[in-house]
Chains A and B, each alone.
Chain A
């Protein structure tokens, strides 16, 4: 087996949802050992949502799409941290680990006695990462937050949205991923520093700050020019022309950017509208920008009769940036991503009734130490024995006592799965565009 780039790095994750689990997933893919500490009495939300084939029988808590998306390659240790034995087991684990990463509010971490100073006592060079919506200190530090809120606060939402419309936020908690990407970087910077100096440290991630760091255009336009930019929809002032246009079929679209005169000529030719090149209203880039509204209508009239993938190929063939707006299924079946092996097939524990399924891999490919998916996300408490007895050397007697007193467990205290909306209901709400009953055959046909 190829050695991972991060082999030998052990991360204890006390995380939930995306911001921390996504960051440690990226590192686990590259070989870090990630141990997820979770509660079996209060399951995290992502074990409670979106079950495979909407199947709520048996071990439903080990069947959630969101949990599998964020937690592959990790081990699960359940500990009741409200009990002193639970906390001391966790500190024993921290004493032999490199990183402790969590995303709860500071109050929760303080109540559990798991602040940086507590961890340093058992592991002086520990790297602790706290990820919160607005930062670990300051007047907003105890406010809970998920991506939709931090995106709003960051400055990005106020400049995003259809022209003349309200601010817009996508259907996924976008900034949790931005925070996770920066968190993976922060952990690596701290590991590099520790490898050079022997010193650990505390890292305070404000999810809002990570997103503000990616919107300097708006934040600095205000700082330098006192301006608040208007929401521009899909346009960008740096380009002559940019938009998303309808194509044939149901809800198919193509996005096009025209950055130069030669790309404009390419567009006119591919759309069969050579006459636009002679038109006084579009004579130069300034004129085209001035008449963007009109051009949008004229371009849409042409694209409406074209297939989005065919038009993408035709425009790209002459060097114009264009791409079809792929839906979730089209992403899975996309020829380019298939050629690069972007979606990797993962097997699930045999008793759950889940076939091997493809998951998005990672944003990079390493030539020497490639990322790997070695295992699906863990079942609740799956590694309790492997970690406590085999790795930490706890006696069978003490392990038994922890089971007996309910400090560890593998079944949630809530017996029944929370009710899930059916695809019919989601369709009626307009939250999904369609539902395909033969999806299993289709996925198997492509990835089986």
Chain B
């Protein structure tokens, strides 16, 4: 089968999560991605937990294993002059360079867009950073929770009688990585058509701020400032509600009203006139909250999920534990999880295609590379550096 991006050559100067996810999306759909890592320690994500077998080994970080499928790894010391000139040679043969250093780092090394594109005007360079390449926060330190805070999502996440919350792990980084991958291809498409490359500035903060639905416009439209969830709003909550064996999200949609919910749940208590109108439900919100909790507590989550989804307007969601995601019949049918065998970490099921492209399927051709695994292949095979010269560069700590 052909691959969508098989003619795309990507130089991946990224580390941690956001940049590597961008390059992974490109690699998993066929791009030739060469990842440049620091000699000796490599990408710091190699030290991020959790680890395979709980063994904190640089080839066993689950994040690193996931984020670097289908890539080749070379080591290169950008602090050395020879390292920088090798990097320029690699960039001159690339269609896209992706990097997520701090904004001052590459220009400070003489490796900004202008330098890298000097002999390659069609080059697209995508720079991902916490707060973008300009502005008063440019040099601020970021972390996922700081991006939730300054990206506006944290304030509206969680309970309004508690501190704001964030999603587990690295969602802000993944969001920016996905956006950067789109940006890379938009710019590459333009470059294919016109021969003009360009520099793209992707901000993690702005990735968050772009996906807040109406959090800012609620203010510009009516002066309302959105908040976190109340304990009892007087409505059927669109958040997880406890069942006997887990949680469901009891969503109603598309014209389905209160009566559809009452009828579906077959609850005399919910049918009570205290809850008959929107106003009376708000007035009796605390009581409603208690009745809802009791009604759901005796039910089973998948039973509710399947039965609701056979009715019009009740599109209940079901909270799945990781084990249930792995055993899910829908995912099984679609062959979602894909087994990957890594020479050190071993064999296991990884999350598979984020979407299915029928003409050019997603696939894993190779597991995440070990540090510098492709030095010979890239430096000797592609740049034509001799065996003796490569040994000298290794000795000098350049590769």
Contact = CB atoms under 8 A, between A and B. Distances in A.
Contact of B225 (A6, A335, A429, A433): A433
B234 interface: yes
B216 A328 contact: yes
B366 to A, nearest CB: 17
Interface in B231-278: 231-235, 238-240, 242, 247-249, 251, 253-254
A200 to B, nearest CB: 8
Contacts of B197: 368
A435 B25 CA distance: 42
A6 B186 contact: yes
A242 B234 CA distance: 34
A149 B166 CA distance: 18
Nearest to B356: A204
A144 B254 contact: yes
SS of A interface (majority)? mixed
Interface stretch (B34-42, B78-86, B205-213): B205-213
B212 A169 contact: no
A448 B272 CA distance: 50
A253 B149 contact: yes
Contacts of B227: 171, 251, 327, 430-433
B137 A336 contact: yes
B322 A362 contact: no
B149 A255 contact: yes
B215 interface: yes
A122 to B, nearest CB: 18
Interface stretch (B4-12, B103-111, B373-381, B384-392): B4-12
Interface in A123-147: 133-141, 143-146
B50 A217 contact: yes
Nearest to A232: B168
Contact of B315 (A145, A227, A229, A343): A145
28 contacts: A45-B254, A134-B330, A140-B309, A143-B315, A148-B239, A153-B320, A159-B322, A188-B186, A203-B356, A209-B334, A209-B352, A218-B169, A219-B322, A220-B62, A234-B166, A238-B48, A245-B163, A256-B146, A325-B155, A326-B155, A328-B156, A359-B217, A361-B206, A363-B203, A363-B210, A364-B179, A365-B132, A369-B190
Contacts of A199: 2, 359
Contacts of A239: 143
B359 A202 contact: yes
A397 interface: no
Contacts of B185: 185, 188-189, 191-192
Interface string A13-41: 00000100010001100100000000000
A349 interface: no
In this complex, the member of B183, B201, B207, B337 whose beta carbon has the largest number of chain A beta carbons within 10 angstroms is B183
Contacts of B247: 152, 157, 166-167
Given A209-B336, A220-B62, A361-B210, A50 B221 contact: yes
A155 B322 contact: yes
Interface in A63-104: 65-66, 68-69
B196 interface: yes
A208 B319 CA distance: 12
Interface in A224-277: 224-225, 227-229, 231-234, 236-239, 242-246, 251, 253-257, 259
A120 B144 CA distance: 43
Contact of B326 (A136, A213, A223, A256): A223
A148 B237 CA distance: 11
Given A152-B318, A255-B149, A54 B222 contact: yes
Contacts of A364: 179-180, 183, 200-203, 206
A222 B134 contact: no
Nearest to B357: A203
Given A149-B318, A236-B169, A362-B210, 18 more contacts: A138-B329, A145-B315, A162-B162, A182-B178, A192-B5, A202-B359, A214-B170, A215-B351, A217-B168, A219-B326, A224-B345, A332-B216, A334-B150, A365-B200, A367-B201, A369-B190, A431-B230, A434-B225
Nearest to A210: B354
A425 B278 CA distance: 10
Contact of B62 (A138, A141, A216, A443): A216
Contact of B355 (A144, A205, A321): A205
Interface stretch (A172-180, A285-293, A384-392, A405-413): A172-180
Contacts of A440: 223
A342 B50 CA distance: 36
Given A238-B48, A357-B217, A156 B315 contact: no
A56 interface: no
A154 interface: yes
Given A221-B50, A340-B134, A434-B225, A257 B62 contact: no
B363 interface: no
A92 B358 CA distance: 24
A229 B141 contact: no
Contacts of B137: 316, 336
A146 B315 contact: yes
Contacts of B358: 201-204
A200 B360 CA distance: 10
A111 interface: no
Contacts of A326: 149-150, 152, 155
A96 to B, nearest CB: 19
Contacts of A168: 157-158, 165, 239-240
Interface string A312-330: 0000100111111111110
Contacts of A425: 282
B311 to A, nearest CB: 10
A243 B146 CA distance: 10
B303 to A, nearest CB: 15
Interface string A422-444: 01011011111111111110010
A360 B317 contact: no
B135 A203 contact: no
What 7 A-B pairs have minimum CB-CB distances, sorted nearest first? A149-B317, A430-B230, A201-B359, A439-B223, A368-B198, A177-B211, A188-B185
Interface string A345-384: 0000000000001111111111111000000000000000
Contacts of A280: none
Nearest to B283: A428
Contacts of A1: none
A257 B145 contact: yes
A415 interface: no
Given A5-B190, A224-B52, A319 B213 contact: no
B164 A181 contact: no
A279 interface: no
Contacts of B150: 323-324, 326, 334, 336
A144 B315 contact: yes
A152 B319 contact: yes
Contact of B171 (A152, A171, A214): A214
Contacts of A343: 216
Nearest to B185: A188
